[in-house]
């Protein structure tokens, strides 16, 4: 049984940004030498997500506006009594979920034709991390 | 360590449809011969989900109406500039999530009494796939 | 390859309640003797979730109010024709998701600095369960 662990660092230019990481996940699988197994890709923060969706800029604009509509920035969240201002980032993270598990078959990510992996930053402009852990044989 | 991979094909009659697949996942576990491990059940499209919920038709009607309320069909999504009309299907997929991991204990799906697995189609009437991957010993 | 399975029981005092379980998950990892792998933490009910978020009471009040706003209690859900009154608990569960997978590296939960694990009860005041399954080497 083999394991391979990598940490991806991000520092986005925007407060909210969606970064395609499919190639980095594929590279980690290749590096691991694992032919059969699973890869966990998981944000290590509570204000960022990881999601599988289409590599098409329009849909990501739609997703971004929709997240802001369902989980809007507001001043009056109770979390802000701590001095934070990012309660909406926590809620957006709940909507997208913060992780995915990707199947590995025959040494490759076993994804459908339009499935790509994205790191979803909801409180950026600072250094943040995601973990990639490949497990299999 | 053992692996077993299957692909389920769907072609739903409705545009949106919720298909119970618990028996197919159980059959895959049985076929795998795995006694301890985990099963990943994951849609291979970005307009379909996989979720665990109750096998009771009323709740699925409630879920369907609620998804349409939170992530409604609209003409004016930016994604539709590509010629697509299914941006709402992408958003509904984000709400349900596109995958679950089920524990396998003593050769069986280790689910609670009311937990059943469903494939959630948000843009159907065409051939689509989900992957089942069992991993364990 | 090693496996370790535990069941956590809950009986919350409130109808909705968010219970920190990070220590219990860490104890299960320690007990398993696994140094590299993954832990699945999954609610065994369809009216409870498991989520990673901040151990800060204000954000959990924000999350609770936000879940009630997006998935409110109502009398007229179709699921209630069965005699149940908890359709909103099913919908809240969909929003939070019912499970997480946590990476284990060097014998420890490989979490970011603010990540903590919570059991999210949406229909409590009765005995309910979550499963912890550690898998690795």
Residues of C in contact with B97 (CB under 8 A): 97
Interface predicted TM-score (ipTM) over 0.90: yes
Q: Tell me how far CA of residue A31 lies from CA of A2, B63, B130, in angstroms.
A: 11, 41, 26
pLDDT at B111: 98
pLDDT tens digit string along B98-128?
A: 999 999 999 999 999 999 999 999 999 999 9
pLDDT digits (tens, 9 = 90+) for C64-98: 999 999 999 999 999 999 999 999 999 999 999 99
Task: Please choose, from the candidates C94, C41, C54, the residue with its C-alpha nearest in 3D space to the C-alpha of residue A123.
Answer: C54
Strands (E) across chain C are located at 2-10, 17-20, 37-43, 48-53, 99-105, 108-109, 116-121, 128-136
Stretch 102-121 of chain A: residues touching chain B, C-beta under 8 Å: 102-103, 105, 110-112, 114-115
Cβ-nearest to A46 among C1, C95, C115: C115
Instruction: Locate the chain C residue with the closest alpha carbon to A48.
Output: C53
- Residues A3-16: pLDDT tens digits? 999 999 999 999 99
Percentage, residues of chain A above pLDDT 70: 100
The neighbour count for residue C115, using CB atoms within 10 Å, is 21
Chain segment A14-38, per-residue pLDDT in tens: 999 999 999 999 999 999 999 999 9
* B115:C91 CB<8 A: no
Chain C residues closer than 8 Å to B71 by CB = none
Paired sense of beta strands A17-20 and A116-121, if any: antiparallel
* pLDDT value of position B66: 98
Q: For the segment B40-93, what is each residue's pLDDT rounded down to a tens digit?
A: 999 999 999 999 999 999 999 999 999 999 999 999 999 999 999 999 999 999
The model carries a pTM of 0.98
pLDDT per residue as tens digits for the range B64-79: 999 999 999 999 999 9
């Amino acid at each position: 049984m083999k394991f391979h662990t990598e940490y991806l660092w991000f520092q986005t230019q925007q407060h909210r940004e969606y970064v395609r990481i499919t190639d980095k996940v594929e590279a980690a699988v290749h590096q691991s030498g694992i032919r059969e197994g699973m890869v966990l890709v998981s944000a290590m923060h509570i204000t960022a997500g990881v999601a599988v969706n289409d590599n098409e800029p329009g849909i990501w604009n739609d997703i971004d506006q929709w997240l802001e509509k369902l989980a809007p920035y507001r001043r009056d969240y109770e979390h802000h009594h701590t001095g934070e201002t990012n309660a909406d980032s926590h809620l957006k993270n709940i909507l997208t979920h913060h992780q995915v598990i990707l199947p590995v078959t025959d040494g490759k990510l076993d994804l459908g034709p339009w499935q790509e992996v994205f790191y979803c930053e909801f409180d950026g402009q600072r250094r943040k991390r995601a973990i990639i852990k490949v497990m299999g044989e």
